[in-house]
Structure 1
């Protein structure tokens, strides 16, 4: 949309009373005028509620431009540039993109000229040079909830220490890393902190890189906060456009928020794509109020963060033991020779086959992690000769959810998988093997997460973790040392069962 500047006011071209004045895309104006809030204006509660804590495109607002512009002139909303010019090219104000190759141009019917747009966040709607972002000028105010938490469980000693640290960080608008081993029960650790935030009238967002985690967390939080409005945001969510004191969202959906949350909790901070995508980190930062608290959750912080914690540069609390008090299963390394050569010959190393055979005979379910999809398909074909119910799953598999569900139900004896299942899938009594643990895709973090699939249930707290390899790597050694270090710290703090 083009705008006209008249008497230090921006006027959308369709609303201009006098035609013929020069209209320009919003990005062409050096300064965008704004106005003080007019206290006696009869504002639209529907519009302001829809915009609360958001930064949206005009096309995302189900309101007429006349109503939106009236709120602009009365100081209730403001127009922001979607694209700004920089010395190097352009910057997208929604996602922070400044990479020249991620901008393109098209001939725009709205501004009647070639119009640059951002390709980085195009899946969230097109932001172009003539696109205004609409932002509410009314600060987001929270409502106090004194008795929102209805949970009757108990926290372990390690969980309790972490929960207290989370409460303090929220009260003082601090940053905190919760470094909790796989199966520590980090979701429960958040309950007291979120409860305290709600008592203080703070708005809370739990952000995670993956949709399936949002779908898993939302019902859990609705159960323990039964009388609290809770919404879940992801691609295609029915809650889009709603507001709530507790929001559970994918990190991509944070692109639509602006100074909305007093507490930002980022789950799986080391996980793809958040860990490698500056756009998502920018979105999380933009969605926070000033001041606000940030709680990071992970079982596998990257090495820089680990070093920062060690040197006291990053506030952190560790939970080195699982909620059931048994030690983490430590991986065993087993050389298996040139396994890739064996796969080409439609076979697997003898010790790998023996490990799989033992699980099939013993009736114990297992994961077999492999580095790449093309290898997975060949390995599944080999293993189906042993048992036709063995299946494989990967990120591009259209039947992924059905296969994982069947595995959870015990219908599949063994599931061959890529690193797509290194997180999030919990089965009570399983063993895990990695074939080709020397492959570069198996980083320290990935191997720790894979090992963390085993022994999560109090009923079955142990199991076998086997790294089959064609040469040990630093990542393998670091993963084993990471697990052993956590077990040692847990024992030192008296968090492990003595029997």
Structure 2
């Protein structure tokens, strides 16, 4: 995509803008401000009270300097970001283009970068009947330009909005200067801006939004609508890939510039270049890191819906404030953790600490990089053991945000967890709209107070949420994934808050907790108030040796027999997918009358096998780490083979051990670390589990029976 660049004198200062449809910009800056026809102006003499950037200057500009030809979008974006002051002029323009793309002059000629002043008289002459914008000596200004039918009157399409049926036809015919037509167009642009508020969309996603909201005709002139919303400050126009300063590796060196994907945040190493017929560049870059979400190119338009559109809609909508107060009153006392949500003592204390964090001003919530999520957003860690009931603990936090008419996001790395949490959230908050987002979800464009999403879907949001809750932050693919962490931070408002949930926080977060740099609350006990099962050590050789010999060791057979005899369901975790079937065959030879199954990430029947295991149709399940979290099976024992493998870190070991002892009927369970050596990961996992038990005992969270047993 290509765009024009222009500068305009607004009052006593110059601003630089880009344009997808320059007719819209010229009509906005030079035309008559039409408050009554538009129907969306402020109530104080036509002023907009700061609801949209530049809106108070509509029709009040006397000087515009614009490029004669369009340039690639990424270059246009860079120029608008770097332009300092003064009218547009060629030498400074070329210097900025070479900063962004050193070889740009090899494929863009000097003639393409000519700049001319557009006066009010020029625009008026064009509006009086010229079919082409020949007053600048060019006729290629049809990029994104359309006009609507005849007189500019509204043509309803039967859905009650009256303006979505406008058909853009021809090129420039002067109807843009008709007050009624201009007001109609502004209403459609406002509706678009309000609809995509808080979202980050590529052009094809914007067209999909228009088509799915009864504005199929508007798809034909989406550039015009986007440009009108942009020039009013209701949306931001960016390129998919933009030039940004690279992180400084050495303090004394000058910062270098590099391409960065504005959707996923990836930088050097994730981009490829190809010749592009759309922008004319012989090496237009695109991002490979988020290619599955649609191609983000340097010349691809990326729209950011800003909060200004929502404020403008609320400002002009009668009764909005009263309706908001009524909804807030209906949710009164929703944040009483113990009473409404029936939380245990430990859960109540943690939720109360998190609520106290949310109630603090941003300045008091924490100013260190750790406490601010690394991106200026205050953060809080709920460190709860496996099976502690993290979902119930966030209910008071969600209610607190809903009372204040805020938007809440709950993000989790896995789709199956999203589907599991959705009915629980719907039951807990029946009066609030809930959107469930994952690949192929039907709620993609739903406007909701609570959004439950996989972390990949966060790439399509921009400053949308006041409260962002990240569940299982240590799990794949969120853990150590810079792109997903960038997307989560981008989805949160600048004055929003982060709540992180984890049973096994990353080492960096644990260090920040110990140093007092990260506000947190620990939940060291499960709902049944029994201590966590502490893993025991069983010395065995590597599993591959037993599979080669086709015989299992006697100590392992005895331990498995003990678990089966006591009626437990047995998890057997291993490291390799290729070892699942051979181990299942060996176990069936040793336990011929016992139903045994195996599963992995490559198993299409994984869900059915887990159901059979939960229903005790099968008694033993061999699995990889695909089931290390999110699965609760009553009365379970856990065996981890090759526990000293480099593929098992301390977090994985704690999560797998957490499958045991989760039910009230069998709160103890048995966990066995089966390995030939006792490495640091196993030691750290055991220390973490015993530490949580010690904290629970010290704080009085364990019941009396458990206290006596621990004392022995």
Q: TM-score, normalised by structure 2?
A: 0.66
1:161 to 349, 352, 359: 349
Maintained 8 Å contact 2:4/2:70: yes
CA shift in 2, pair 1:414/1:289, >3 Å: same
Aligned with 1:10 (options 18, 22, 28):
18
Q: What is the match of residue 32 of structure 1?
A: 80
- C-alpha contact 2:2 2:299 (8 A) present in aligned 1: yes
Give, in whole Å, the separation in 2 of the partners of 1:366 and 1:46: 56
CA distance in 1 between partners of 2:482 and 2:232 (Å): 36
SS of 1:289's partner is strand
1:55 is aligned, of 200, 207, 213, to 200
> Aligned pair count?
494
Determine the structure 1 residue equivalent to 2:454.
Answer: 250
Aligned pairs for 1:390-401 (under 5 A) are 390-401=596-607
Of 116, 126, 135, the match for 2:304: 135
Deviates more, 1:289-298 or 1:337-346: 337-346
Q: Which moved more, 1:147-156 or 1:391-400?
A: 147-156
Q: Return the structure number with greater relative CO, CA threshold 8 A, min gap 6.
A: 1
Superposition pairs for residues 227-242 of structure 1, below 5 Å? 227-242=431-446
Cα distance change on mapping 1:109 and 1:409 into 2, 3 Å = farther
- Between 1:63-72 and 1:288-297, the stretch displaced more is 63-72
Q: What is residue 222 of structure 1 aligned with on the other side?
A: 426
Q: Does 2:582 match 1:413?
A: no
CA apart distance, 1:313: 1.5
- More helix per residue: 1 or 2? 2
Picking from 654, 657, 660, the partner of 1:448 is 654
**1:183–1:452 Cα contact (<8 Å) kept:** yes
2:240 is matched with 82
Q: CA shift at 1:398, angstroms?
A: 1.9
Task: Show the 5 A alignment for 1:85-484.
Answer: 85-86=243-244, 87=256, 89-100=258-269, 102-114=270-282, 115-139=284-308, 145-148=328-331, 152-172=340-360, 173=362, 174=365, 175-385=379-589, 386-387=591-592, 389-484=595-690
Distance (whole Å) between structure 1 residues aligned to residue 445 and residue 494 of structure 2: 23
Gaps of 5+ in 2: 9-16, 27-66, 84-181, 211-218, 245-255, 315-323, 366-378, 706-712
Please report how far the alpha carbon of residue 403 of structure 1 lies from its aligned counterpart in structure 2 after TM superposition: 1.5
Q: Secondary structure at 2:630's aligned position in 1?
A: coil
Preserved CA contact (<8 Å) 2:306 2:463? no
Q: Deviations over 1:214-235 (max 9, x none)?
A: 1111111100001110111111
Quote how far apart the aligned CAs of 1:358 are.
3.5
Confirm or deny: 8 A CA contact 2:542 2:642 kept in the other structure.
Answer: no
Provide Cα deviations, 1:265-317, integer angstroms capped at 9, x if missing partner. 11111111111101111111111112111111111112232222122111111
Tell me by how many angstroms 1:240 deviates. 0.6
Query: Per the alignment, in what secondary structure is the counterpart of residue 704 of structure 2?
Result: coil
CA distance in 2, matches of 1:408, 1:361: 18
Deviation at 1:25, TM superposition (A): 1.6
Partner of 1:71: 229
**Structure-2 residue corresponding to 1:488:** 694
Aligned-pair distance for 1:362?
4.4
Partner of 2:11: none
Q: Secondary structure at the match of 2:678?
A: coil
Secondary structure, in 3 states, of the residue corresponding to 1:31? Answer: helix
More strand by share: 1
2:571 and 2:23 map into 1 onto residues whose CA distance is 62
Q: What are the Cα deviations for residues 23-47 of structure 1, in whole angstroms up to 9, with x where unaligned?
A: 222101233389xxx9994344642
Q: Distance in 2 between matches of 1:146 and 1:266?
A: 28
CA contact (8 A) 1:252 1:280 kept: yes
SS in 1 for 2:572: strand
Alignment root-mean-square deviation, CA? 2.6
Structure 2: distance between partners of 1:324 and 1:17: 65
Asked if 2 retains the 8 angstrom alpha-carbon contact of 1:171 and 1:197, the reply is no
TM-score (norm 1): 0.93
